[in-house]
Amino acid sequence: MTSSTLKSYVKPSFIICVAVLLTAAVAKEAVIRVLGVQMVKLPVPLQHPLEDMDAAVLAPYELKNSSRIANRDVLESLGTEEYLQWFLEDTEAEPASPTRYCSLFITYYTGNPDMVPHVPDECYVGGGNQRDAGGTVTIDVPRADGSQKLNFQHVVFKNIDPKLMTTETFSVEYFFHANGDYCSNRTETRLKLGSNWFNKYSYFCKVEWKFYGADSFGLIYPDKDQTLRASQKLMARLLPELEKNHWPDWEEMK
């Protein structure tokens, strides 16, 4: 080290900057301790595992198939082993109804999870589909907190087959439940998680579903109005079960 370099480190301006930075670092830690800010979150378990859900509570929807992810790479990418992947049939729907069948996918993250990395908007595009439209929609669903509204994402995709010269248009619906509140999109969920300063626990859960039907020509998909009506019917049965028997009691956690 040359003498000129050494002199630059002992200049008053440099010493003052170092002192300010050290003071700020110490003060930050002190303020965090005094205010009780919880920087590291602890995991909070579900009341009961998602895969233990009683399918009978969803009637007239019947569970036709329940699958688990066998590929470890896919499971690691998902980021959790706490999930439910069901395929349901609405026994009240007409045989050729575009909402007769439903794929339901619920994932749960807790502790210090990644800040909501997986949303259908990106995952389906990564699978070769084109995102055509999307936005927040609202349905009437009575909930345990007295609210009558549920906001969620309605995302429309196109699947184009260049060989057959055909295009399929379908939608995927989803919302989040984070630290005791419903969030209609990823941004709301990240803000909810980020503002959880004083609680030592944290979690979020994504509920995702897609309706479809089948006729003699193959799969058929509902339009927006059909999707909203079917979503209202399904969520009126699913949400009470999640709130009562699966999601953590956030008031108790607080």
DSSP 52-106: G--GGGGTTEEEEEE-----HHHHHHHT-S-EEEEEEEETTS-TT-TTSEEEEEE
By C-alpha distance, which of 205, 12, 179, 245 is closest to 116?
205
Between residues 215 and 144, which one has the greater pLDDT?
215
Q: Work out the pLDDT band at 236, boundaries 50, 70, 90.
A: very high
pLDDT band at 162 (very low <50, low <70, confident <90, very high): low
Q: Which residue has the higher pLDDT, 60 or 9?
A: 60
Helical ranges in 184-223 per DSSP H: 186-194
Residue 174 vs residue 13, higher pLDDT: 174
Q: Are 132 and 156 in contact (CB under 8 A)?
A: yes
- Report the C-alpha gap between 140 and 124 in whole angstroms: 27
For the chain, the domains span 3-35, 50-253
Pairwise CA distance, residues 24 & 48, whole Å = 44
Q: Of 115, 188, 180, which Cα lies nearest the Cα of 151? A: 188
Share of the chain above pLDDT 90, in %: 59
For residue 25, the model assigns a pLDDT of: 40
How confident is residue 5, by pLDDT bands cut at 50, 70 and 90? low
Beta-bridged to residue 201, according to DSSP, are: 42
pLDDT at 196 over 80: yes
Average of per-residue pLDDT across 106-125? 83
Would you place residue 112 in the very low, low, confident or very high pLDDT band (cuts 50, 70, 90)?
A: confident
Query: Residue 236, SS3?
Result: helix
Q: What is the value of pTM for the model shown?
A: 0.82
Chain mean pLDDT for the chain: 85
> How much is the average pLDDT of 120-129?
86
- The predicted-structure confidence for 41-68, as pLDDT tens digits, reads as follows 899 999 999 999 999 999 999 999 999 9
